[in-house]
């Protein structure tokens, strides 16, 4: 009898790789010391070659793809199939087509779009600062905020078209769609499309009690690497329930 391969699904964001960019992360806390070694050790302990890892942004500090090559090679060397979206520090990211042409066989980039996988529909956007955030500056943030709301709708429209099979929609977004327990307009849109699970990152070092919450049926989970102590979060049961 052929052995059944059991696929698992994980989330881990904000890897902040910087093999060429000289951006040490330990200034954000001692837990960031040797963080690439921690990521590799934990990743290889938990994740197999058939598993899926969702990475919602801030993959590399690089300013261009040439500078990001070692970071991408590092990510490619780790087990599993990786699905990534753009974070606010991913300056190396150009067009989606160019990113996917260079990231290698184990990495798929998504941006304001969706794809169908074996067990779920995956959509992704970057998001932006929301008015609920105390640092929101209307003169600087409003235009980008509205643009990202529209990109979220585009991604979820695409996801809905792929959903004939009845598979759940999983969304990854870099910026937090829930802030200190309060839903933003991003969260309202996700709920209106009946998204099952939303993974996000961006936050570091200061955690409030509501970083993980459920709102109108959508489960919101933070997967920032330092929040998880650099251990990928197993979301298999929540995705496949």
C-alpha–C-alpha distance, residues 51 and 124, integer Å: 19
At 127 the pLDDT is 98
pTM across the whole model:
0.95
pLDDT band at 30 (very low <50, low <70, confident <90, very high): confident
C-alpha–C-alpha distance, residues 11 and 199, integer Å: 7
- The mean per-residue pLDDT over the stretch 86-111 comes to 94
Q: Give strand pairing partners of 167.
A: none
Residue 2 has pLDDT above 60, yes or no: no
Domain ranges of the chain: 9-240
Q: Which helix (H) or strand (E) holds 169?
A: strand 169-173
Residue that wins the pLDDT comparison between 205 and 12: 12
> Residue 138: which residues within 8 A CB-CB, separation 6 or more?
131
Q: Which of 133, 173, 170 is nearest to 149 (CA)?
A: 173
Report the alpha-carbon angle 222-235-121, nearest 5. 95
- The mean per-residue pLDDT over the stretch 173-186 comes to 95
At 121 the pLDDT is 97
- The mean per-residue pLDDT over the stretch 206-233 comes to 92
128-172 confidence digits (pLDDT tens): 999 998 889 999 999 999 999 999 999 999 999 998 778 999 999
How many Cα atoms are found within 13 Å in the side-chain-facing hemisphere of 102? Answer: 17
At 4 the pLDDT is 52
C-alpha–C-alpha distance, residues 19 and 31, integer Å: 18
Q: What is the mean pLDDT of the chain?
A: 93
Give yes or no for a contact between 126 and 154, defined as CB atoms under 8 angstroms apart: no
- The mean per-residue pLDDT over the stretch 96-105 comes to 92
Residue 3 has pLDDT above 70, yes or no: no
The superfamily in CATH containing domain 9-240 is Metallo-dependent phosphatases (3.60.21.10)
At 163 the pLDDT is 82
């Amino acid at each position: 009898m052929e052995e059944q391969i059991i696929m698992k699904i994980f989330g881990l964001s904000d890897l902040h790789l910087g093999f060429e960019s000289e951006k040490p992360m330990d200034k954000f806390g001692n837990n960031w010391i040797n963080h690439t070694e921690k990521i590799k050790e934990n990743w290889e302990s938990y994740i197999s070659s058939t598993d899926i890892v969702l990475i919602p942004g801030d993959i590399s500090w690089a300013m261009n793809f040439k500078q990001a090559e070692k970071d991408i090679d590092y990510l490619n060397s780790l087990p599993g199939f990786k699905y990534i979206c753009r974070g606010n520090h991913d300056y190396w990211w150009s067009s989606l087509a160019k990113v996917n042409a260079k990231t290698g066989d184990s990495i798929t980039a998504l941006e304001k779009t969706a794809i169908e996988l074996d067990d779920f529909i995956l959509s992704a956007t970057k998001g932006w600062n929301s008015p609920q955030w105390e640092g929101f500056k209307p003169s600087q943030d409003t235009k980008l905020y509205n643009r990202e709301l529209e990109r979220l709708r585009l991604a979820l429209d695409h996801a809905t078209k792929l959903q004939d099979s009845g598979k759940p929609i999983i969304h990854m977004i870099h910026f937090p769609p829930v802030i200190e327990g309060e839903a933003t307009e991003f969260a309202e849109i996700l709920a209106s499309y009946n998204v099952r699970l939303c993974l996000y990152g961006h936050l570091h070092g200061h955690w409030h009690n509501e970083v993980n919450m459920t709102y109108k049926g959508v489960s919101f989970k933070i997967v920032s690497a330092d929040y998880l102590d650099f251990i990928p979060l197993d979301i298999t049961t929540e995705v496949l329930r």
